[in-house]
Structure 1
Amino acid sequence: MELKDAVAVVTGANRGLGRHLAAQLTQRGAKVYAAARRPETVDLPGVTPLRLDVTDDESIRAAARIASDATLLVNNAGISTATPLIAGRLDAVRLEMETNFFGPLAVTRAFTPVIEGNGGGAVLNVLSVLSWLHPAGLGSYAAAKAAAWALTSAAREELAPRGIAVSALHVAYMDTDMAASVPADKKVDPAQVAAQALDGIAAGLPEILADDTTRYVKQSLSGAPSTV
């Protein structure tokens, strides 16, 4: 997909990876709707702040009406509550699934006719190495991201005839607020991840693996669970 003159909607664009994606899309010549639950927190020059709460259906529908010229959707918004599936609070598990799975699904459903009506385009879902690696302490996040991986694969097949390519970005721990409490030795620069993601969209890649940890885990999937 040609990013120059594309019209992008980036969810969770007020901080972290989403902010880098929105900024770099602008630098590449795209028009950018920088979506956030509180659009007043978007401080990037050259973007259009857009109110969008991925857990609020009316907010999603309103955003799709405003960004009616969109050709690219980046489903980046997400949360992590560090909740285990068995011992953790069920409402926290539900919140992660609502935000990290049902949110991208609802936003994609709302923007599919928009993107198709504008001649086609692309969707990028920001996933995680934890789509495949499922540590107990992050069980709810991993389960939601695994579900989002399935969503991405199924949507790719469903939307291809409508002229919409669907890509997945998988990345391990980035140097962002979400991973601040994770004692990972190597945290990836989110600016570099954003650049890889946009290069992948431009090249039409169905899957973008942003770091060595993610590539290693993906290669290990055919082994026994204890080796992943």
Structure 2
Amino acid sequence: MKLTNSVALVTGANRGLGRHFAEQLLERGATKVYATARRPELVDLPGVEVLRVDLTDPASMIAAAAVATDLTLLINNAGNSSFVNLVDGDDAEIQGQLDSFFWGPLRLIRAFAPVLKANGGGAILNIASAMSWVAGDTANAYHVAKAAEWAMTTSVRLELAAQGTRVAGAYFGMTDTGHQDFWTGPLNDPAQIVRTTLDGLEADRLEIIADELAAGAKAVVAGDPRDFYPVAV
């Protein structure tokens, strides 16, 4: 997909990766960028059109689709991280992860699919994670939600193929968005991750693996679980 003259909507555009996506889309010649957030007053990027989208509020998605009738690119970026496991984790926190990464993006796709069809097909980009493919103790609710997002991305790709809508996913590891105080390992540069992801979208890649950690995680899926999860043997 060529980003020049595209009309894009980015969720979670008030900070972090979402703000970088909105900014770089404008730099690449997007005609319009709808920058959305649960609290739209926090969006401070010049040149964007601000809308409210709350992933837990389906009505906000329907309202956004009624405004952004010229859309050609939907980027599902918004989300949060809840560090809980499944066996002893709080039900509400587990559900919250699924709302952020499965139900929210899916409902937004359902709201905008007719818009994209009317505008020639366009594209959808779901921002997933290396943890779509690997589990991790203390963050297994996040892993399950991201795995569901990966499966949803593949499924929706098949369902929307007939209307000419391309559906891609982006996968990468921990990235510096200003909310990783707990993390002591290396962090990706968010601007570079967004640049690599948009390059992949323009190159028509369906799975955009943006760093080595995600490439290694994808390889785990084809391997023996005992090799990667020795504690579970």
TM-score range, shorter chain: over 0.9
Displacement after TM superposition at 1:172 (Å): 0.5
Residue equivalent to 1:74: 75
Amino acid at match of 1:215: A
> Which aligned segments of 4 or more residues in structure 1 are displaced greater than 6 angstroms?
none
Equivalent residue for 1:38? 39
Q: TM-score, normalised by structure 2?
A: 0.95
Distance in structure 1 (CA, Å) of the matches to 2:98 and 2:216: 26
RMSD after superposition: 1.0
The answer as to 2:149 corresponding to 1:148 is: yes
CA distance in 1, matches of 2:128, 2:226: 22
> Are 1:11 and 2:1 matched, yes or no?
no
Alignment gaps of 5+ in structure 2: 229-233
Q: Percent identity, aligned pairs only?
A: 47
SS in 2 for 1:137: coil
Contact kept in structure 1, 2:8 and 2:34, CA below 8 Å: yes
**C-alpha displacement of 1:225:** 1.4
Q: Is contact 1:8-1:71 (8 Å) kept?
A: yes
Deviation readout 1:185-205 (Å, 9 max, x if unpaired) = x21011011011111111111
Alignment gaps of 5+ in structure 1: none
Partner of 1:21: 21
* Alignment coverage as a number of residue pairs: 227
TM-score by length of 1: 0.97
Q: For the residues of structure 2 that align with 1:118 and 1:180, how far apart are their CA atoms? A: 42
CA distance in 2, matches of 1:105, 1:220: 26
Q: Which moved more, 1:100-109 or 1:173-182?
A: 173-182
Q: Output one character per residue of 1:59-93: Cα deviation in whole Å (capped at 9) or x when no partner.
A: 00001111111000000011111111111111110
Structure 2 SS opposite 1:136: coil
Per-residue CA distance 1:5-31 (angstroms, 9 max, x = gap): 100000001111111011000101111
Question: For the residues of structure 2 that align with 1:44 and 1:93, how far apart are their CA atoms?
Answer: 32
Amino acid at match of 1:49: V
> For the residues of structure 1 that align with 2:179 and 2:106, how far apart are their CA atoms?
21
